[in-house]
C-alpha cells in the first residue's frame, strides 16, 4: 500500500506495474481513464502533471481537467485549519476513519504556501496519518512544493476536480501554517472547520479574529483528561464570542464542539454536524450558490494573478522596479506617476 | 467665507475675482503658485482637475502633483471612522476647533465610495461642519463623486499632496459609510482613529473586528448625561478586548478614551494622545517607515488596478466575459481554462 505521496520520486519506484508503461502514459485520455477507474497511482501522476509548470505538461493538464470536469462536483469539500500543535493530523485521522468505515472515499490535500521552504513534507504526511496513508480508500497529497499562493491555490483547485472524477466522496483541504492560506482555502470549500485548543484563559489569542469569522464549525480538540473542564469553559466563551458576530453568509450560525481526536470522543458529533451543515445549505440553496460564486471568483482571481505575473516578470519592469520603488519611498515621485511610467514601459515593450 | 465645497459649481460663482481669470488658469504653474500661496479657491480648482478623468486635465494634474511633491509630506494625516450616527462631524468640528485655536491649518477630506449613488454631500458637508466650513484655516472637501474605490483612493491621496503643499498642518480623512473604505484610508494615514458609541451591552456589534484591530486610538463619543456610566463601562470592555489582540504594527497599543464632542469633554485628551502617538512613532522610526511602505503599496496598487481596468475594459473581454462567467458557474469550463482563454483574447487583440 502507501502508494501516495511520491510526487518527487520517479513513477516506476512507486508501483512496479507502471515500470513498463513509463513513457507511454502520455495522452490525456489515458490519464482520465486511469483516474476514472480509481487508480490512485495514475491519479497521483495526473496531479503531478497538473502541478508541473512545463508548457507541454500544462497542455496535457488542461485536457485532463477538461475531460474530468463533467465528473466533478459530487464531493463534499471541507477546509480544516488550526494553529500548529492543535492536532490537525490526528483529527483528520479520527474523522477520516469514520468516513472510511462508512465506505466513503476520502482525499486529503494540503495547502501550504511555505512548503517551498520546508520541503520534506512527504515523509511527514505518511508519518502523521499512518492509518489513512495505508488505506486504499484514502488518498493523501501534500501541497505543491513551489509557486505563489495563487499558483498553489490553482493547483489545489484543479486537484479537487481530479479527485472528484476519481470518485472521492469527501475532500479535506488542510492548511498548514497559519494566516495567509485560510482565505484561499475558504474560497474553495463548502464547509470550513476551525480546530482550536483550550488555552489557559487566552482563548482568543493566537487565532486571528478574521479566521474565527470564517469558520462554519469550531472544534476544541484535546478535550481529554484534565483538559475537559477547560475545554467546556472555552466552548462557552467561544459561543459567547460568536453570538456577537453576524451570522455567516450561509445564514447558519457557527457551532462550537469539544472533542479528543486521540481518544475518539466528540468526533462522531462533529461529523454529524458537518452532514447537517451540508444538508441545511443544500436545502437553502447556499451550497450551490456558494460553489458558483467560488467558480466565478477563481476565474477573476486567475485572470488578475496572471496579469500581475506578466507585468512583474516583464524584463523591462524587472530592470527598473526597485529603482522606482526607491524613488517613490523617498518621495521624489508620486506612486501614481511612477505607476503610469511603469505601465507605459510594459506596454511599449510587449515582447517578452 | 465658505469658499470651499463647490466643486460642481462653475468657478466664477464661487469667487468673483476669478471670473475674469476664467479660462486663463490653465497651466500647472499657475495652479501650483496659487496652492503654495494658500489660495483655497485655486486649491479647490486644482483638486477638481486631479479628480477629472479627462485626459487633458489628467496631464495638467500630473504636472501639478509633480511640482507640489517637494512641498508635501509635512502634515499629520489622520483617518477617522465610525458607524453613521456616531458623531463624526461633531467630533471633527470639536477637535478641529482646537487645532485652529492653536493656529494650525486643517483640511478635512472624505472618502466615500458610495457617494456616486448619494451625491448631494456638498450641502451636507457645509451643514454638518458649520464652524470649520466658515473658517479660513479649514478646508473641507467632499469625496470625489465618481469612480471605483481604487479611483477614489488615488484622488484622495493626490489631494493630500496638494493640501500639504498648500500648508495644511493636519489632514483628516474621514470615511463615510462603513466596511469597505477603512482599509483604504488606513493605507494613507499616519494614525487611525475609531469613533464608537456605548451601546446597550452590544459593544462589539456593528463594528467589524478587523476595523477595531486597525485602530490606533479608540474614542467612545456621546459620553454625556446619562451615557457617562455606560461609556466608562464600554471603555473597560474595549480595553479588555484590545488586551487580547496583538499590538498594532506601530508597536504601540491602541488606547481607549471617552468624550463628548457636543459638550467638548475629553477632546483635549484625545488630541494630546494623537500628538503623543505621532511623537512616539516618529521617535521609533515607525512613522517614516509606514509612510514609505504606504508609498510602495500605492505604487503596486495603482499598477494592479490599472492592469485590471485595462483588461476588463477591453472590448473583446466585455463581449464575452459574462458568457464565460456563466459557463464557469455551470461547471462546463474550469475557471482556469476560462481565464487562459480570456487572457489570450485580450493579448491577441491589443488595439483598444
Q: What is the pLDDT of residue B348?
A: 77
Percent of chain B exceeding pLDDT 70 equals 80
pLDDT band at B153 (very low <50, low <70, confident <90, very high): confident
Q: What is the pLDDT of residue B41?
A: 93
Distance CA B264, CA A298 (A): 51
- CB distance B296–A69 less than 8 Å? no
**What does each C-alpha distance from A265 to A17, A68, A72, A89, B199 come to in angstroms?**
41, 38, 33, 16, 41
Distance from CA of B19 to the nearest CA of A (A): 32
Q: Is A12 left (phi over 0), alpha (psi -120 to 50) or beta?
A: alpha
| Structural domains of chain B ordered from first start | 71-284 (3.40.50.300), 291-348 (1.10.287.130)
Q: What is the mean pLDDT of residues B255-278?
A: 96
Q: What is the mean pLDDT of residues B218-228?
A: 92
Percent of chain A exceeding pLDDT 90 equals 56
- CB distance B161–A334 less than 8 Å? yes
- CB distance B331–A73 less than 8 Å? yes
Q: What is the pLDDT of residue B333?
A: 92
Tell me the chain B residues in contact with residue A297 when contact means C-beta distances shorter than 8 Å: 335
ipTM exceeding 0.85? no
pLDDT band at A207 (very low <50, low <70, confident <90, very high): low
- CB distance B296–A336 less than 8 Å? no
Radius of gyration, CA atoms only, chain B = 22
The answer to whether B158 contacts chain A (CB < 8 Å) is: yes
Instruction: Evaluate if residue A10 carries a pLDDT over 70.
Output: no
Please write the tens of the pLDDT for every residue from A106-123: 999 988 755 444 443 444
Instruction: Evaluate if residue B311 carries a pLDDT over 70.
Output: yes
Q: Is A50 left (phi over 0), alpha (psi -120 to 50) or beta?
A: alpha
The answer to whether A210 contacts chain B (CB < 8 Å) is: yes
Please name the residue of chain B whose CA is at the shortest distance from the CA of residue A338: B299
- CB distance B336–A210 less than 8 Å? no
Q: What is the pLDDT of residue A200?
A: 38
Most confident of A144-153, A288-297, B177-186, B207-216: A288-297
DSSP letter assigned to residue A265: B
Residues 292-311 of B with CB under 8 A from A: 292, 295-299, 301-304, 306-308, 311
Distance CA B100, CA B306 (A): 39
Q: What is the pLDDT of residue B14?
A: 41
Tell me the chain B residues in contact with residue A332 when contact means C-beta distances shorter than 8 Å: 69
CB B257 within 8 A of CB B266: yes
Tell me the chain A residues in contact with residue B302 when contact means C-beta distances shorter than 8 Å: 335-336, 339-340
pLDDT band at A296 (very low <50, low <70, confident <90, very high): very high
- Residue B138 C-alpha cell reads as 479649514
The answer to whether B202 contacts chain A (CB < 8 Å) is: yes
pLDDT band at B136 (very low <50, low <70, confident <90, very high): very high
The answer to whether B1 contacts chain A (CB < 8 Å) is: no
pLDDT band at B237 (very low <50, low <70, confident <90, very high): confident
- Helix and strand numbers (H, E) in chain A are 15, 7
Q: What is the pLDDT of residue A120?
A: 38
Instruction: Evaluate if residue B9 carries a pLDDT over 80.
Output: no
Please write the tens of the pLDDT for every residue from A65-113: 999 999 999 999 999 998 778 889 999 999 999 999 999 999 999 887 5
Q: What is the pLDDT of residue A199?
A: 66
Amino acid at each position: 500500500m502507501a502508494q501516495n505521496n511520491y510526487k518527487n520520486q520517479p513513477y516506476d519506484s512507486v508501483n512496479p506495474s507502471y515500470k513498463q508503461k513509463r513513457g507511454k502514459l502520455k495522452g490525456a485520455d489515458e490519464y482520465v481513464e486511469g483516474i476514472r477507474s480509481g487508480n490512485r497511482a495514475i491519479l497521483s501522476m495526473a496531479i503531478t502533471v497538473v502541478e508541473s509548470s512545463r508548457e507541454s505538461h500544462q497542455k496535457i493538464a488542461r485536457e485532463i481537467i477538461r475531460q474530468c470536469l463533467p465528473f466533478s462536483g459530487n464531493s463534499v469539500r471541507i477546509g480544516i485549519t488550526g494553529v500548529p500543535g492543535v492536532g490537525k493530523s490526528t483529527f483528520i485521522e479520527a474523522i477520516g476513519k469514520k468516513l472510511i468505515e462508512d465506505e466513503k472515499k476520502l482525499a486529503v490535500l494540503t495547502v501550504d504556501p511555505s512548503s517551498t521552504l520546508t520541503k520534506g513534507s512527504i515523509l511527514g504526511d505518511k508519518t502523521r496519518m499512518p492509518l489513512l496513508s495505508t488505506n486504499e480508500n484514502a488518498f493523501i497529497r501534500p501541497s505543491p512544493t513551489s509557486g505563489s499562493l495563487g499558483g498553489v491555490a490553482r493547483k489545489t483547485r484543479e486537484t479537487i476536480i481530479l479527485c472528484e472524477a476519481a470518485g472521492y466522496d469527501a475532500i479535506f483541504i488542510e492548511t498548514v501554517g497559519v494566516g495567509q492560506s485560510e482565505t484561499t482555502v475558504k474560497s474553495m470549500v463548502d464547509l470550513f472547520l476551525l480546530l482550536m485548543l483550550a488555552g489557559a484563559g487566552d482563548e482568543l489569542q493566537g487565532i486571528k479574529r478574521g479566521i474565527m469569522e470564517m469558520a462554519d464549525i469550531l472544534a476544541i480538540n484535546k478535550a481529554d483528561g484534565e483538559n475537559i473542564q477547560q475545554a467546556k469553559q472555552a466552548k462557552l466563551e467561544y459561543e459567547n464570542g460568536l453570538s456577537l458576530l453576524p451570522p455567516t453568509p450561509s445564514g447558519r450560525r457557527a457551532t462550537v464542539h469539544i472533542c479528543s481526536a486521540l481518544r475518539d470522543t466528540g468526533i462522531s458529533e462533529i461529523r454529524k454536524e458537518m452532514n447537517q451543515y451540508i444538508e441545511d445549505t443544500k436545502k437553502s440553496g447556499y451550497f450551490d450558490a456558494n460553489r458558483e460564486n467560488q467558480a466565478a471568483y477563481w476565474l477573476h482571481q486567475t485572470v488578475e494573478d496572471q496579469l500581475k505575473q506578466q507585468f512583474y516578470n516583464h524584463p523591462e519592469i524587472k530592470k527598473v522596479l526597485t529603482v522606482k520603488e526607491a524613488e517613490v519611498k523617498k518621495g521624489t515621485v508620486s506612486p501614481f506617476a511612477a505607476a503610469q511610467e511603469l505601465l507605459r514601459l510594459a506596454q511599449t515593450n510587449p515582447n517578452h
